[in-house]
Amino acid sequence: MKLITVLLTGLIAVPAAAQVAIPSAQPSVDSTQAPLFRVTVVGRTTAAINYRPRSGETRVDLAGTALLPEAHGYAEVSGGKGYIEIDARLQKMQPATRFGSEYLTYVLWAITPEGRAKNLGEIQIDDDDARVKVTTEFQAFALIVTAEPYFAVTQPSDVVVMENVVRGDTKGKVETVQAKYELLKRGSYLMNQNANFKVKPLEPGAPLDLAEARNAVELSRLARADRYAADSFAKAQELLTAAEVARAKHKRGNDVMMPARQAAQTAEDARLIALQRQEEEFQTQERVAAAQRERDAQARAQVERDRAQAERERAETEQARRRQAELEAQTAATARAAAERERLEIERARQEALKAQSDAEQARAAADAARRAADTQADQARALAEQERAQAEQARVQAEQARAQAQQAQTAVAQAEQVKRALRERLREQLNIVLETRETARGLIVNVSDVLFDTGSATLKPGAREKLARVAGILATHPDLKIEIEGHTDSVGSDDYNQRLSERRAESVRAYLVQQKIPPTAVDAEGFGESRPVASNDTAAGRQQNRRVELVVSGESIGRTSTGAN
């Protein structure tokens, strides 16, 4: 799934740990209000069908998702003039409250290929079966069933319990397209105020419509509809009160059901109006704050300009004073320089006379020294020649020793390499018994195939955990080994989605190996998404080969040091 974050301006009281920090540049919020609430919307993809008008009746299956796997059913779809009729029959349904206290019922949705969702109607369960007959003006759509707090919701929750599945015997001309739609993440209606969600428990025998109305009014209150949509909220409360009174007086079913369902619809309208008005109020505050920030910035800029002007004037005055001082100093220096030049001329003449006398004395001494040096150099030359003969003999002996040592070192290296090669092959054979293992220049690569994960998931299947436990047991006997876990995907899906899935799968394998006593410092995990295929992504077989997690095993003891690249 791809996460898409949207802003809902529900000004609600949430715990401090769940609040979203508001930057200091924004205007301060009234103390009676809470910060903006951020709700996560989950993107989901399912198969939509293009039903041709007047093409006769066709059937699609309705299959339970992982949330309600035992649920199943089908829908008879027929095209009329200007609309499509849907007769859906469901079995093995369970109460919606199993997904959370705010969920009371199920709703059937039509999702267009562009992602627009339409509430087709509530699904009321009789025992564990249900049937709903509705119409829609959509021509191309997918059918899904979601758990909801009440029937009048306008956007599906992410508690998708059933989706349509194209049957092999589906009649008529249909096209299968991919419908991408957005779901409200679980808990969005409560807006992190589970402790403040207080709804009177449904009494035995009381209709579900009354419970949905209570839910709708309470969720509308959590969204601050009592302040931002007071009239609509008050009307919803009045309708709920009327339904409660009718129930207390044991009136007929319609006397309770009709005001209860109208209360749920009115409360949903009030909730949406309140969220919109809070968004408008926030945007107004943002515009006012932006204007104030602009005025403050202009004022600060003017102060800075004035300060800069004063600084420039002070600098110019200081520069003029320095120029005057420098001129006076130059005049005095010129006079001192002339006197110094005259003194130096006199001193140079005296030094030249002394130097001439010294040169004559040095010449006599040099002649004597040269004679003595010639005698000494002759003696040194004879001694040096004798020393060089001795060094040459010593160098020859050392060269012979070095050749012998080099031969011994080459023999030791060959033996060590043979031991490493044998150990590497034995380790490869042990690992290959558990999972496909091949040898590369980087090290031994153990392939964890895609079938060991749930589709689109990073959760290891039990079979995968068993195999990885055996792999960990083998690797644990070689504590010097380094394990690099690399996740890969095929090209189906966006680059960002594939990158995150590969990282999560690699990290899932790493976490499991660490649980199996592999030292954390010996295991690294990295995801490469779809960037490193080993087969063509144009075929199903090729894509399956590309969906993998590889363990690159390297270490000095097996003669392989990972280079970090395939």
Structural domains of the chain in order of their starting residue, each with its CATH number? 2-197 (no CATH), 435-558 (3.30.1330.60)
Q: What is the pLDDT of residues 92-113, one digit of tens each?
A: 999 988 888 788 899 999 988 8
Q: Residue 132: beta bridge partners?
A: 88
Residue 159 CA neighbour count, 13 Å, CB half: 21
- 425 CB neighbour count, 10 Å cutoff: 13
pLDDT band at 183 (very low <50, low <70, confident <90, very high): low
CA distance 147 to 156: 8
**In this model, does residue 561 exceed pLDDT 70?**
yes
Q: How far is CA 457 from CA 276, 460, 498, in A?
A: 36, 8, 11
Q: Looking at residues 32-38, what average pLDDT do you find?
A: 39
Span 410-447, pLDDT tens digits = 777 777 788 888 888 898 898 889 889 998 888 899 99
Q: Where does the pLDDT of residue 202 fall: very low under 50, low under 70, confident under 90, or very high at 90 and above?
A: low
Closest-CA residue to 506 (of 527, 491, 534): 527
Per-residue DSSP letter, 236: H
Distances (CA, A) of 511 to 111, 405, 445, 499, 515: 38, 48, 18, 18, 6
Cα–Cα distance measured from residue 138 to residue 159, given in angstroms and rounded to the nearest whole number: 23
Long-range contacts of 204-211 (CB under 8 A, 24+ apart): 206/247, 207/247, 207/253, 207/256, 207/257, 207/260, 208/104, 208/105, 208/124, 209/243, 209/256, 209/257, 209/260, 209/261, 209/264, 210/243, 210/244, 210/247, 210/256, 210/260, 211/104
What tokens were used for 258?
């009709």
pTM of the model: 0.42
**23, pLDDT greater than 50:** no
* 190 torsion bin: left (phi>0), alpha (psi -120 to 50), beta (else): alpha
Higher pLDDT pick, 184 / 222: 222
Q: Model confidence over 253-301: pLDDT tens digits?
A: 778 888 888 888 888 888 888 888 888 888 999 999 999 999 999 999 9
| 162 in Cβ contact with 44 (< 8 Å) | no
Per-residue model confidence (pLDDT) at position 191 = 54
Mean pLDDT of 451-458: 78
User: In whole numbers, what is the pLDDT of the chain averaged over residues?
Assistant: 81
Q: How far is CA 161 from CA 65, 158, 170, 242, 506, in A?
A: 5, 9, 22, 33, 29
3-state SS, residue 551? strand
Query: Of 496, 444, 498, 450, which Cα lies nearest the Cα of 471?
Result: 444
Higher local confidence (pLDDT), 43 or 538: 538
Q: Is the pLDDT of residue 70 over 50?
A: yes
H, E, C per residue of 39-100: EEEEEEEEEEEECCCCCCEEEEEEEECCCCCCCEEEEEEEECCCCEEEEEEEECCCCHHHHC
Strand-pairing partners, residue 75, are 60, 88
Q: Taking a C-beta distance cutoff of 8 angstroms, is the pair 214, 101 a contact? A: no
